[in-house]
Structure 1
Amino acid sequence: MASREKQVLYTFLVLLSLFSMAHAIRSPPLALFRNCKFDKIFQFGDSLSDTGNLVRERPFDVSGRLPYGQSFFNRPTGRYSNGLIMIDYIASAAGLPLLNPYEQVGANFRHGINFAVAGATALPVKTLASKDIHAVPTPTSSSLDVQLRRMSDYLSSYCNTQTDCRDKLKNSLFMMGEVGGNDYNYALFGGKTIQEVKNLVPEVVQSIVDATREIIKLGARNIVIPGNLPIGCVPSYLTTFQANNTFDQNHCLKDYNEFSVYHNKQLIKAIELLKKENPGVTIVYGNLYNAFQWLFSRAAYLGFDRNSLQKACCGSGGEYNFSFKKICGLPGVAVCSNPNQRISWDGIHLTQQANKYMAAWLISNMSPMLQCPAS
């Protein structure tokens, strides 16, 4: 694993040097992020961040089968990608090893823990069920509140006192998601209208805020709260909802992207309030929406196939190579010849290459706000 981690870091250095040469991304680059000297990262969230928790809950999950993981690990690891995901690049940029999943028996948590579980929601499963919102197949029960309890349980053995916790966590980075996307996915794919799902946004945002307040009480001092991606650009959405919908300049579903913006605006307002409540805590909004729009607008320049920007690499059928009936990982589902030229891996999640560029944009954007020293 050590050699793999060195390879990740080397790849990331090359990537950021290319960005610098092409003036395609704002500085500061990797060095500034490393100057923050984070010694641990704690990740919460869903499949965008899961490094192997769900596959331990469900050993037969598709993320535990090839072609998942094929491009970097040569085996499936429970990551929903052909290789590395954003948190892998973020950890490597901080000079830390890849994060082990919380549910991995005997794992080393010296440099942090990944609590994220694919399929997880911001609201408890029972709360969503009371609103007639259900996942198919049966969702994980490891919602954000469960992940938070696991963090608290870990700290009860890691720290002796609250003061001890604050001291031990002062150089830790807490990634609060992305989370909340599945609450909306389950509602929208379950037949609810965008307007109906908008009514869910305040509760989802409040759940994220409440969880953040809890980790601050536990001792967190450096926190990133990511927003949602532009869901109207995702192949699963394009396949399901393209009829009777308008498209934007990128051929993404306009109404669904506007919904993501609506969620993100509410989240940003809540973050500003959190900042005022906690002047001694660094709280940063992780702008996944802008990161993706940046990637998409420069995709051809960055080496992606301009004719397949919204096509899944691993999938089957239709204009966007996606079908819920034959998803990636099932027998007979084909994989594109060059995943590095695709943004979407399986119609829902990003390829390793897209994750790499997204992480680079985020790190460059977040580093100054995380108050990483210049030297």
Structure 2
Amino acid sequence: MASSQTNLIFSFLLTLNFLFFLLPLPSSATISLCSPNAIYQLGDSISDTGNLIRQSTSPKASVFAHLPYGISFLGQPTGRCSNGLLMIDYIAMSLRLPLLNPYLAKDSDFSHGVNFAVAGSTALDSSFLAENDINSPITNSSLSIQLNWLKSHLKSICHTKKDCEEKLTRSIFFVGEIGGNDYNYGFFRGLKTMDEVQKILVPHVVQSITRTVMEVIKLGATQVIVPGNFPIGCLPIYLTIFQTNDTEAYNEFKCLKGLNGFAMFHNDQLQQALQQLRNAHPNVDIVYADYYNAFKWVLHRAPLLGFDKDSLQKACCGSGGGKYNFERRNLCGVAEATVCPIPETYISWDGIHLTEKAYMHIANWLIRDLTPKLKCLF
């Protein structure tokens, strides 16, 4: 009985979330991304809506297939790496589109787009990472694999190249966020220094992303959004592993300055590469999604947004206790982990991914930032 009541409550809250995005906003804050009729998403756990948990021969082996993941989204896990909805969910709702179904849910409705993102995926193929002594432990569904899925899907819905181009004219493509895991595995599993990761991986990650953007343009895409990286020095996983007694290593928000500098370097390199693509494809909207500053905006205004000022770098779901409540050997979802009483007061969900509420505010910031940068061609 209690479970049934809980599900009704979550259903009601989800409805309120959806209605919120249908409410008219002042003209200065109008949410509109040119009214596309489809979204195609490539990426990793920031946007995976259920591909990873369907990829395994034993899907329930993934912690993302179990509570407390999804506890705020109808009270059940969907494969999303959060307590509830993700940014791509809020963006879809703001466009009056259904939530994107994962590509590997083969019996799903894909009439308004497809989500190809896979949690744990990398921008670079696992073979390249292995050549540099970096292990990719979760999935081999790198960006190139996801691009092949996209091509296969389009072949199934397009009769001719012209037909495909017409369909894609009213579609938005998200290429990323991707590359974060390449760096994670480099730092945590390849035992690389920050300089090594920056020198060895960043140029290749950026090249992989831009190459994929060129490929989707060839397929007929006219609107492509390419996100950058978050300020990783503010995430509990990095704060725990790179914890130091050097107070100069932290900024005013107690984030690690060096790691944030690394994220900015990636973002700068990506933006320069995207500008070259814009010059080569002036009739295509190639827009950078500034995840870094969107996250900073939320962090700077956290108390005003209802987040607990004493838990800004703490994981809501974790087992580590202490400053960050993060333990690499006992992640969210294992028996030792506990969940904070009110996830809505936390930015970080599990030390790696964010809470539904944090994603909602970041998505709102991004939509307002992206809208004027997209030419409405229809």
- The partner residue of 2:18 within 9, 13, 18 is 9
Q: Distance in 2 between matches of 1:273 and 1:4?
A: 43
Match of 1:49 in 2: 47
Q: Does residue 1:288 correspond to 2:291, yes or no?
A: yes
Counterpart contact for 2:222–2:283, Cα < 8 Å: yes
- The partner residue of 2:270 within 252, 267, 271 is 267
Match of 1:336 in 2: 340
Counterpart contact for 1:5–1:98, Cα < 8 Å: no
The amino acid that maps onto 1:145 is S
Counterpart contact for 1:28–1:367, Cα < 8 Å: no
Q: Distance in 2 between matches of 1:115 and 1:27?
A: 33
For the aligned residue pairs, the C-alpha RMSD in angstroms reads 1.9
Q: Distance in 2 between matches of 1:274 and 1:88?
A: 28
Q: Does residue 1:316 correspond to 2:328, yes or no?
A: no
With the length of structure 1 as denominator, give the TM-score of the two structures: 0.93
Match of 2:4 in 1: none
Q: Distance in 1 between matches of 2:264 and 2:150?
A: 30
| Deviation, structure 1 residue 12 | 3.5
Match of 2:196 in 1: 196
| Deviation, structure 1 residue 228 | 0.3
Q: Distance in 1 between matches of 2:179 and 2:36?
A: 26
Describe the superposition over 1:290-326 as per-residue Cα deviations: whole angstroms up to 9, x where unpaired: 0000000000110000000000000012320000111
| Deviation, structure 1 residue 372 | 4.2
| Deviation, structure 1 residue 66 | 0.2
Counterpart contact for 2:44–2:119, Cα < 8 Å: yes
Match of 2:261 in 1: 258
Q: Distance in 2 between matches of 1:128 and 1:114?
A: 24
Q: Does residue 1:159 correspond to 2:158, yes or no?
A: yes
* Secondary structure of 1:346 counterpart: coil
Q: Does residue 1:233 correspond to 2:234, yes or no?
A: yes
Q: Distance in 2 between matches of 1:125 and 1:4?
A: 40
The amino acid that maps onto 2:17 is V
Residues 95 and 201 of structure 1: is their aligned pair in 2 closer, same or farther, counting only changes over 3 Å? same
| Deviation, structure 1 residue 130 | 0.6
Q: Distance in 1 between matches of 2:317 and 2:197?
A: 29
Give 1:20-35 correspondences, 5 Å limit.
27-30=28-31, 32-33=32-33
Match of 1:279 in 2: 282
Q: Distance in 2 between matches of 1:289 and 1:208?
A: 17
* Deviating 4+ runs (over 3 angstroms): 1-8, 11-14
Q: Distance in 2 between matches of 1:5 and 1:336?
A: 20
Counterpart contact for 1:238–1:253, Cα < 8 Å: yes
The amino acid that maps onto 2:282 is P
Match of 1:360 in 2: 364
Match of 1:23 in 2: none
Match of 2:106 in 1: 105
| Deviation, structure 1 residue 105 | 2.4
Q: Does residue 1:249 correspond to 2:258, yes or no?
A: no
Counterpart contact for 1:42–1:173, Cα < 8 Å: yes
| Deviation, structure 1 residue 243 | 2.0
Q: Distance in 2 between matches of 1:237 and 1:71?
A: 25
Residues 4 and 305 of structure 1: is their aligned pair in 2 closer, same or farther, counting only changes over 3 Å? closer
Q: Distance in 1 between matches of 2:373 and 2:309?
A: 33
Match of 1:297 in 2: 300
Q: Distance in 2 between matches of 1:77 and 1:271?
A: 33
| Deviation, structure 1 residue 27 | 3.9
Q: Distance in 2 between matches of 1:13 and 1:172?
A: 20
Q: Distance in 1 between matches of 2:326 and 2:69?
A: 16
Match of 2:38 in 1: 40
Residues 27 and 237 of structure 1: is their aligned pair in 2 closer, same or farther, counting only changes over 3 Å? farther
| Deviation, structure 1 residue 333 | 1.1
With the length of structure 2 as denominator, give the TM-score of the two structures: 0.92
The amino acid that maps onto 1:366 is L
